[in-house]
Chain A
């Protein structure tokens, strides 16, 4: 088990390679022209092994651990990456592991090679009729659904009986509303209007599906928080550098105690988030309760202290922090976005509360 981010040599290598690759090909710039070469970029990412890392060996994968997977997402967050890595690095490998191998192996191969792309389609109000195999309802916010070749669709996630996990080829017959999110990523809502689906589209149903859906959503939470964490840590570095350069009242802003304390507070919050992420990384493969606790604790921390840390960075940057051309505002928007996805802060507080203080039946 990993209890510190003072990592093994091969992890450092992975992180450094990822960081270099991202900075070379995807560094944040104010013109935001970096989407230009996306297909290439995806292929390079595949060559680096990002999509094979989460797959088990029996599916031809590299069987990396949670820390390694999250380090990729963290590094992607640092450059405010806007492609749907989360679903392909962290979620799809899990879903494929749960599938029948004959179907899973070819898909895993293509995922690892960067030839297909998955999108995670969280549940909104989607309902599957077992008797007619027809799908009805609206999804939640699905990152990268428009560019994906395959959708992992969460259905009926609120009850054990209604739960299913579906794998659908991206499909023009499904009405899709595409929109941008405030952090620049693209996402969609899918509208299933009495859509007939083949029997074998359901990867799991009932109890198994329910557990798998919880697992996927916790992964989305933990992975999303890893991306947000990378963005935030990069944002703190940017801000501290700026404060050392910006002079007011004849001294660098970094020399004012009020400003120093603000950055020190943000640092405290960021380090705690790093701790929670380390727990999240091992919890990915721990018991469902522990995984849920780690995911919700992270999400609550992100939605409260994480956002506070980011808004403090804007504050000490002054007016420049409010401009579209400067990166810190985009860091803030990334955090705000992750805070709203995969269950709100209040919803995760409630969930953590239920795990921490289980309600006792009345005597």
Chain B
């Protein structure tokens, strides 16, 4: 897609590519290829490497350590990282907490929390959802009660991804039960080692452990743990959702996975002495996915180009979560067809290419059912398009 980029952007891409080639440890790339839930140390190592070059918080403003890139440059950077199998950076600190704190937090909070996210030393988790507050997030029941010097938080949070190794949680809690649900919520910074916090692992469909249920029993949060104003939590949370528009599309991950899958299908034998990918049915399925992937890439670039050139993105910004998540699922569905019987085995025998690749793909495929559910389920996204874009 070079035609879409300026000469400067191409030069920038080459610079990024060279840096990654020299600095990404091969074992980290291997782990990223193999696994779906990376360990904290692995994410932190890459974060630190990027931070030394000033690239860790690549979409933050320069005053908080960002490199001052345009949205298009960020796209290029992320594409290069993905295609080199660099570990994904922890999404909560980078995309959620950082922007929340530099936009709404106090200067003390900025000074205290942003450097840790940038360097990769501090890990965060997101405590928004609850057992009874999923799509209907405003139904949050966890309460924060004002006491001398701080707040007492009680309740439980569902689906805390990475909670078992996070240092801190950004927690949505009810501070005012007497107003309409959206207006009585506030955002808090909670130390995961605080007294009264306990976690229960939740094992997911891929047999992995990445999420937890977090119980908070009279957890004390000092006054400086409140972000921004009391009862403003909902406004802040919504602001961020509209601020970050393209990350959910996971376009770079899809491109990288699709390339890997294509390589796999080209290396595997098909029938009649052909490569698997040369079988007409396979070839057709790959080609159809490619057509959708390219259209996602261009859609994302369109949004970023608007942002780069100082325009507010158009309504297409609301479609990328839906089309991006569906495409992610299509890619692993195709993978299951490529893997055949090997794809439904839990244990694999030998060191053939197929045996090596199968487990990662199968786990990815199973866990991938989540992408149409979390980050605002696709049904909810469609309602938003119908209402706010189409005016229905």
A345 touches B (CB below 8 Å): yes
Chain A residues closer than 8 Å to B281, beta-carbon distance: 346, 349-350
Inter-subunit contact A337/B369 (CB<8 Å): no
B145 touches A (CB below 8 Å): no
Inter-subunit contact B379/A248 (CB<8 Å): no
Inter-subunit contact B135/A340 (CB<8 Å): no
Closest to A315 in B: B372
Inter-subunit contact B282/A337 (CB<8 Å): no
Inter-subunit contact A323/B347 (CB<8 Å): no
A314 touches B (CB below 8 Å): yes
Given known A177-B349, A315-B373, A319-B159, contact A140–B134 (CB-CB < 8 A) = no
User: CA–CA, A177 to B135, complex, Å?
Assistant: 45
Given known A249-B136, A350-B281, contact A324–B205 (CB-CB < 8 A) = yes
A68 touches B (CB below 8 Å): no
B366, B369, B383 — most chain A CB neighbours (10 Å): B369
> For window 110-168 of chain A, which residues contact chain B by CB distance below 8 Å?
140-141
CB distance from B78 to the nearest CB of A (A): 26
User: CA–CA, A177 to B355, complex, Å?
Assistant: 13
Interface string of B366-388 (1 = CB under 8 A from A): 11011011100111001100000
Inter-subunit contact A182/B344 (CB<8 Å): yes
Inter-subunit contact A346/B344 (CB<8 Å): no
User: CA–CA, A172 to B366, complex, Å?
Assistant: 35
A341 touches B (CB below 8 Å): yes
A311, A322, A337, A341 — most chain B CB neighbours (10 Å): A322
User: CA–CA, A333 to B202, complex, Å?
Assistant: 18
Interface string of B94-126 (1 = CB under 8 A from A): 000000000000000000000000000000000
User: CA–CA, A321 to B370, complex, Å?
Assistant: 9
Partner of B345, one of A181, A259, A311, A329: A181
Inter-subunit contact A333/B366 (CB<8 Å): yes
User: CA–CA, A307 to B343, complex, Å?
Assistant: 15
Given known A319-B129, A336-B336, A346-B337, contact A179–B349 (CB-CB < 8 A) = yes
> For window 322-361 of chain B, which residues contact chain A by CB distance below 8 Å?
329, 333, 336-337, 339-341, 343-349
CB distance from B213 to the nearest CB of A (A): 10
Inter-subunit contact B205/A333 (CB<8 Å): yes
A34 touches B (CB below 8 Å): no
Interface string of B187-207 (1 = CB under 8 A from A): 000000000000000111101
User: CA–CA, A350 to B205, complex, Å?
Assistant: 31
User: CA–CA, A247 to B136, complex, Å?
Assistant: 9
Inter-subunit contact B336/A259 (CB<8 Å): no
Interface string of B271-306 (1 = CB under 8 A from A): 000000001011000000000000000000000000
Interface string of A242-264 (1 = CB under 8 A from B): 00000111100000101100000
Inter-subunit contact A314/B369 (CB<8 Å): yes
Closest to A339 in B: B336
Inter-subunit contact A329/B340 (CB<8 Å): no
User: CA–CA, A256 to B369, complex, Å?
Assistant: 21
User: CA–CA, A336 to B329, complex, Å?
Assistant: 14
Chain B residues closer than 8 Å to A181, beta-carbon distance: 344-346
CB distance from A300 to the nearest CB of B (A): 12
User: CA–CA, A181 to B362, complex, Å?
Assistant: 11
A187, A332, A344 — most chain B CB neighbours (10 Å): A344
B132 touches A (CB below 8 Å): yes
Given known A179-B345, A322-B373, contact A258–B207 (CB-CB < 8 A) = no
Chain B residues closer than 8 Å to A361, beta-carbon distance: none
Closest to A183 in B: B344
Inter-subunit contact A182/B204 (CB<8 Å): no
Closest to A338 in B: B344
CB distance from B365 to the nearest CB of A (A): 8
Closest to A342 in B: B341
Chain A residues closer than 8 Å to B382, beta-carbon distance: 258
Chain A residues closer than 8 Å to B202, beta-carbon distance: 323, 325
B139 touches A (CB below 8 Å): yes
User: CA–CA, A177 to B341, complex, Å?
Assistant: 14
B158 touches A (CB below 8 Å): yes
Inter-subunit contact A324/B207 (CB<8 Å): yes
A180 touches B (CB below 8 Å): yes
Inter-subunit contact B340/A340 (CB<8 Å): yes
Closest to A256 in B: B379
Partner of B383, one of A182, A258, A319: A258
Closest to A184 in B: B346
Inter-subunit contact B135/A249 (CB<8 Å): yes
> For window 309-363 of chain A, which residues contact chain B by CB distance below 8 Å?
311, 314-315, 318-319, 321-325, 329, 332-333, 336-337, 339-341, 344-346, 349-350
Given known A181-B345, A248-B139, A337-B344, contact A345–B337 (CB-CB < 8 A) = yes
A189 touches B (CB below 8 Å): yes
User: CA–CA, A346 to B336, complex, Å?
Assistant: 11
CB distance from A80 to the nearest CB of B (A): 14
CB distance from A86 to the nearest CB of B (A): 15
Given known A140-B341, A319-B373, A321-B373, contact A180–B346 (CB-CB < 8 A) = yes
Partner of A340, one of B279, B344, B379: B344
Inter-subunit contact B205/A322 (CB<8 Å): yes
Chain A residues closer than 8 Å to B337, beta-carbon distance: 344-346
Inter-subunit contact A323/B379 (CB<8 Å): no
Inter-subunit contact B347/A329 (CB<8 Å): no
Chain B residues closer than 8 Å to A189, beta-carbon distance: 349
Interface string of A282-297 (1 = CB under 8 A from B): 0000000000000000
Closest to B379 in A: A258
Partner of B204, one of A323, A333, A340, A350: A323
Closest to A179 in B: B347
CB distance from A275 to the nearest CB of B (A): 25
Inter-subunit contact B347/A322 (CB<8 Å): no
Q: Would you mind naming 11 contact pairs between A and B with Cβ atoms under 8 Å apart?
A: A177-B349, A179-B348, A180-B345, A187-B345, A311-B329, A322-B205, A324-B204, A329-B366, A341-B341, A344-B340, A349-B281
**6 nearest CB pairs, A to B:** A329-B205, A248-B136, A324-B203, A179-B347, A180-B346, A337-B344
What residues of chain B have their CB less than 8 Å away from a CB belonging to chain A?
A: 129, 132, 134-136, 139, 158-159, 202-205, 207, 279, 281-282, 329, 333, 336-337, 339-341, 343-349, 362, 366-367, 369-370, 372-374, 377-379, 382-383
| 4 further contact pairs, Cβ within 8 A, besides A319-B370, A319-B374, A329-B369 | A179-B349, A258-B379, A322-B369, A333-B366
What residues of chain A have their CB less than 8 Å away from a CB belonging to chain B?
A: 140-141, 177, 179-183, 187, 189, 247-250, 256, 258-259, 307, 311, 314-315, 318-319, 321-325, 329, 332-333, 336-337, 339-341, 344-346, 349-350
